[in-house]
Structure 1
Amino acid sequence: MAKNKTSPTKQTAVRGLDAAVNYLIENDGEALANEVIEYVGETVDFNDHERSRYEKTGYIRWQSILNFYTIDLSKAGYLRKNKGIWTLTSEGEEAYKAGMLNMLDTAIQKYREWKKEQNDAAPEEPVETELSEDPGLTPAQRLEEYEREAIAGIKDYVTKMTPYDFQDICGTLLIAMGYFIPHVAPKGKDGGIDLIAYGDPLGTKPPRMKIQVKHRPDAAVSVDVLRQLVGLLNKEGDVGLFITSGRFTSESERYARESFKHLELIDFPRFISLWQEFYPKMTDQQKDMLPLQAVWFLGVG
């Protein structure tokens, strides 16, 4: 049987996913989903039809197609999605070397194999079809979309903070986690230690955390900056903590893992996760620094 030609829908998906994966690679394999989608929309020359909206749902066509095909990448283990963050796995980066079309075809095959295992039935033969109607969102995809929008809104709120406001909110988080903050660096020269945190009121018990805070939402913290912090860990029991509203380079993350000194990293996604986790322990005044509203959904697989 002759191989079917790539459908227009799949061609749209390949172009969009190609840009998305490139963006992830350029950002050390991880980025906010909304940032990825925004980049795709700005860099890919979609035609008027691809940029049109589905009549029934109002969703933009190319975005729906992109989201539809990311299911295959996720099930194949190439793309990991978590709370509005997209991460390209090492398997995904390796598969991408064969080209986006081959990567997607392999992912589709892996997804079919996964479905076969789930349903214990023979999968249907793959067919190149044109999605004339919006494929719609599964409950899991809809939840993912809500999470993506929520994280984007929080990111925008944090981005508008001053560096000192962000430093204050980091201190508030640590207090909610049970730490005591005896020292907050005064406003002035950048660099050095911004916060010191103890595990008890007098600091008689380890660890003694020396904390540096950077409010650079669109930047990645380099390894040189981390080396400077480690150089300040000169007492037994000292632990370094670096908090950023942005992210860390892959080299920085590797350095922290391999450092002979205990060094913890908190990037924006981890900061938000911790803020959500300890939010119930905060006072109303503390919560107002970054107010959140919990919304409950039916659990989906």
Structure 2
Amino acid sequence: MAAPDGMAARDALTQLSNLVTLTSYEAGTYESGGQRFEKIVRFATVDCVKAGWMLKHKGTWFVTPAGTQAYKELDDAELFYKSAVKLYRQWKLAQQNGLTNTADDVVENVTEAEVENDAEKETSFTYEQAEEQAWAEIEYYLRTMNPFDFQDLVADLLKAMGHYVSWISPPGKDGGVDILAYTDPLGTRPPRIKVQVKRVAQKVTSDTLRSFVSLIGNGDVGLFVSTGGFTRDAEELARMQETRRITLIDMSKLIDLWIEFYGKLEDTARRRLPLTPIYFLTP
């Protein structure tokens, strides 16, 4: 709840483990590897997701308004968890039987064995771990990429999207624009696309974005790409523009676009960020 923009699952698990004293059972490990505590917690979050109290996206966990309300109303920890389990089981029975409502006594007692031996939760557990690892590795790869290679990666993406890149900033001062692109090979048709690229860890602020906006003319489109994302003030500034067209592209959006246009990338471009799809049965 203290992270309205979401929190990486690995960070949430680390913070939680530092807040509680694990029993010897929870601190134990499975024969196949992995700490029992993490699996118990991840299984419990499945209940919260089906209850509508949490959302998960690309390895990031979010608390919904309904989750915040449940946290306020159910001030007993055991009651809170049992309520989530009850809503999960109601959802599961509805999926199995085509029911919309089930009895109030869907859950009375939740045993450790039940928590750790739910086939559907096991699938979710495997899927989430794979997704989190994949996104973490891609993000780390991009964040540690040479800044000029990253700039070229963005230019390659624009080409794959059907734009014509006329200029990429060489090392040195660029005047606030890293890439120029057009919608036709000769650059005779508007709009002209001005791109600023920042491979940074911190979020871009409204002040930084405002400097870029000042470079965008009425016949231009401005694209600001930032691996660190944007502050809420910066996002609001982009939305409030009336005459200047500004599009913000964060890490998640950039990777989504790279995947979407991967088949249209040149071979040399693909080698900048080579990806292979692996298909899971989605939980």
Task: Please give the TM-score of this superposition, normalised by the length of structure 1.
Answer: 0.78
Q: Which residue of 1 aligns with 2:48?
A: 73
Residue 153 (structure 1) aligns with: 137
Structure 2 CA distance for aligned equivalents of residues 221 and 91 of structure 1: 30
Counterpart in 2 of 1:182? Answer: 166
Cα separation, 2, equivalents of 1:103 and 1:192: 51
Asked if residue 115 in structure 1 is aligned to residue 92 in structure 2, the reply is: yes
User: How far apart are the structure 2 equivalents of 1:195 and 1:104?
Assistant: 51
Quote the offset at 1:150 in angstroms: 0.8
Partner of 1:239: 221
Question: Does the 8 A contact of 2:168 with 2:179 survive in 1?
Answer: yes
Q: Report the equivalent of 2:63.
A: 88
Q: Which residue of 2 aligns with 1:141?
A: 125
**1:248 aligned counterpart, secondary structure:** coil
- Displacement of 1:110 in angstroms is 3.7
SS in 2 for 1:264: strand
Q: Do the aligned partners of 1:64 and 1:135 also contact (CA within 8 Å) in 2?
A: no
The answer on whether the counterparts of 2:53 and 2:63 sit within 8 Å (CA) in structure 1 is yes
Secondary structure at the aligned position of 1:197 is classed as strand
Structure 2: which amino acid aligns with 1:277?
A: E
Within a 5 Å distance, the mapping from 1:272-291 to structure 2 comes to 272-291=255-274
Query: What are the superposed Cα offsets for residues 190-223 of structure 1, whole Å, 9 maximum, x if unpaired?
Result: 7611112212112222332211111113x12222
The answer for unaligned runs of 5 or more in structure 1 is 1-20
Classify 1:225/1:138 alpha carbon distance in 2 versus 1 (closer, same or farther; 3 Å). same
Counterpart residue identity of residue 130, structure 1 = E
Amino acid at match of 2:266: T
Matched, 1:300 2:276: no
Which residue pairs with 2:210 in the alignment?
227
Distance 1:216 1:135 in 2: 42
Q: Does 2:37 correspond to 1:54?
A: no
- 1:27-47 Cα deviation digits (max 9, x unpaired): x42244344444545x43543
1:151: how far off?
Answer: 0.8
For residue 38 of structure 2, the aligned residue among 63, 71, 79 is 63
Q: Which residue of 1 aligns with 2:191?
A: 207
* Cα distance in 2 for residues equivalent to 1:105 and 1:221: 41
Paired with 1:96 and 1:257, the residues of 2 have a C-alpha distance of: 33
Instruction: Name the CA distance, whole Å, in 1 between partners of 2:76 and 2:189.
Output: 53
Counterparts of 1:2-17 in structure 2, within 5 Å, are: none
Question: 1 CA distance for matches of 2:87 and 2:237?
Answer: 34
Q: For residues 190 and 51 of structure 1, what CA distance do their matches in structure 2 show?
A: 53
Question: What is the CA distance between 1:256 and its match in structure 2?
Answer: 2.4
Q: How many percent identity over aligned positions? A: 38
Question: What SS class does the counterpart of residue 273 from structure 2 fall into?
Answer: coil
TM-score, normalised with respect to structure 2: 0.82
Aligned partners of 2:5, 2:34: CA distance in 1, in Å? 27
Distance 1:184 1:146, change over 3 A: same
- The aligned amino acid for 1:61 is R
The one-character-per-residue Cα deviations of 1:70-108 (angstroms, maximum 9, x if unpaired) are 112222333222233333334444555556947655544
Q: SS of the residue aligned with 1:138?
A: helix
SS state of the match for residue 181, structure 2?
strand
